[in-house]
A and B are shown apart, each in its own frame.
Chain A
Amino acid sequence: MLNLLPQTVYDLANFRSGREIERVGSVSRDLFEES
C-alpha cells in the first residue's frame, strides 16, 4: 500500500471495499455501455 499522504483517505483501508482496476489487452465498446 502506498503511503504518500498519510493524513488522507488515499489509504484504501479507509474505504468499505476496493478493487484494482483491470488491465486488458484490448477494449470493446461495451465497456462504456450500461450494464
Chain B
Amino acid sequence: MGRPVILTGVVCGWEASRKWSFDFFRGKLGDKVVRASDRLRHPTMSVPMKLSSFLNYCESTTAESIGWSNKVPLYVGLQVLGAYPELLQDFSQPEVVDCVYASLEGELLQWYLEHFGVLLIGSSGAVTLLHKDLFGTHAWLAQLVGRKRWLVFAPNEVDNLSDGRVHLRAPDLSVKENIRNAEVHEAVLSPGEIIFIPKGWYHEVMCMDPSISLSFNFVNQTNYLDHILGICTDLPLWEKRIDSRLRHKLSIGWERATYPF
C-alpha cells in the first residue's frame, strides 16, 4: 500500500520554481480559452474564459469573498505540456518516478504528456474533492505558488469514506461517524515541495492561497499490474484518452473489433 511522503529540496533546482507565476502564465497563455469549474471532478458549474481573466479572478477571489455556504471558488486543470513542450525544460520528474510512458517518442510522447500531466491553477479555497486517482496510477504534485492543505487516507479506509463518495467540506451527518473512524494523514504543502500519493490512496486538497501546482500520474514496475487492471475496470474512461490521432498511430480499428466469445 506504500505511504504518502513529501519530498523537499528538489523543486528549488527547477527553472519552474523561479519562472512559473501568475504573471508568467498571463503572458504565455493569457489568450487561451480555458474551462473554469467549481470542481475538477464532476463539476456542477463550468464556464469558459480567457486564462488571463481566470488568473485575475484567482488573485482577487477567496472562499470568504464568495461565501462558503453554497459556492466554492473556481479551479482550472490545464493539460498543456504536449502543446507547449518548451515548458518541459523548466522541470524534471523525480528519478524515482521512472514512468513507463516517459520513454515514448513523437506523437505517443505528446499523448502521454497531455493525459498524464496537468497544471493546476486555483484561487484560495478552491477544492479538489475526495477521490483516488484512476487507472491504478501513483501521482506526484509539485507546489510552485501558494500552499495546499492535504487530507489523505489509506486504501483500507474505503468503508469509513463511503467508497470515496463522502464530501469532507459538507459531510452527510448520517455518515459522519464513519468518517471520524478514519485515520487521516495531513500536511500543508508549501512552494518548493513535492507530495507523492501511492495508488489507491484517497485525498482531498484545498488551496490555502492563490495556487499553481504541476502534477503527473505515473506507472512503473511497482504498479504496472494495478494499472492494467485499472484500465480494465474503467475501460470507457480509458477509451476517452485514446483520441483519433493515437488510434491512427497505433493502427487501432475499434469499429472493426470482434470478440470470439
Please say whether chains A and B are actual partners in one complex. Answer: yes
**Inter-chain contact A15/B2, CB cutoff 8 Å:** no
Interface residues of A in 21-35 (CB under 8 A from B): 21-35
Question: Across the interface, which residues of A come within 8 angstroms of B171, CB to CB?
Answer: 8-9
Q: Is the CB of B185 within 8 A of A31?
A: no
Q: Chain A contacts of B193 at CB under 8 A?
A: 23
How far is the CB of A27 from the nearest CB of chain B, in Å? 5
CB distance from A9 to the nearest CB of B (A): 6
B220 CB contacts on chain A under 8 angstroms? 29, 32
Which chain A residue shows the least CB distance to B150?
A21
Given contacts A15-B182, A18-B185, contact A10 B8 (CB under 8 A): no
B199 → A minimal CB distance (Å): 7
Is A21's CB under 8 angstroms from B2's CB? no
Residue of B nearest to A18 (CB): B184
B9 pairs with A25, CB closer than 8 A? yes
Q: Evaluate whether A2 and B187 lie within 8 angstroms (CB atoms) in the complex, with A16-B180, A21-B6 already known.
A: no
Q: Which residues of B contact A19 (CB under 8 A)?
A: 183-186
Nearest CB to that of B170 among chain A residues? A8
Identify the closest chain B residue to A34 (Cβ).
B1
What number of A residues sit within 8 Å (CB to CB) of B?
30
How many A-B pairs with Cβ below 8 Å? 112
Task: Determine which of A14, A27, A34 lies in contact with B196 in the assembled complex, contact meaning CB atoms within 8 Å.
Answer: A27
Q: Choose from A12, A18, A33 the contact partner of B2 (Cβ within 8 Å).
A: A33
Asked if B132 is an interface residue, CB under 8 A from chain A, the answer is: no
B182 engages A16 (CB within 8 Å): yes
The answer to whether A24 and B222 touch (CB under 8 A), given A8-B168, A32-B199, A34-B1, is no
The winner among A5, A28, A33 for most chain B CB atoms within 10 A is: A5
Nearest B residue to A21 via CB reads B187
In the assembly, what is the distance between CA of A6 and CA of B170, in Å?
Answer: 11
Q: How far is the CB of B176 from chain A (nearest CB, A)?
A: 7
Query: For B199, what are the chain A residues with a Cβ–Cβ distance below 8 Å?
Result: 32
CB distance from A10 to the nearest CB of B (A): 7
Whether, in the assembled complex, B117 has its beta carbon less than 8 Å from a beta carbon of chain A, the answer is no
B119 at the interface (CB under 8 A from A): no
Chain B, residues 138-168, CB within 8 Å of chain A (1/0): the string is 1000000000011110000000000000001
A15 touches B8 (CB 8 A): no
B84 contacts A by Cβ under 8 Å: no
Closest residue on chain B to residue A24 by CB atoms: B5
B186 x A29 contact (CB < 8 A):
no
In the assembly, what is the distance between CA of A9 and CA of B187, in Å?
Answer: 15
Question: Once the chains are docked, how many angstroms separate the CA of A24 from the CA of B140?
Answer: 14
Q: Which of A7, A14, A29, A35 contacts B1 (CB 8 A)?
A: A35
Residues of chain B with a CB closer than 8 A to A5's CB? 63, 68, 169, 206
User: Roughly how many angstroms separate A24 CA and B150 CA in the complex, as a whole number?
Assistant: 17
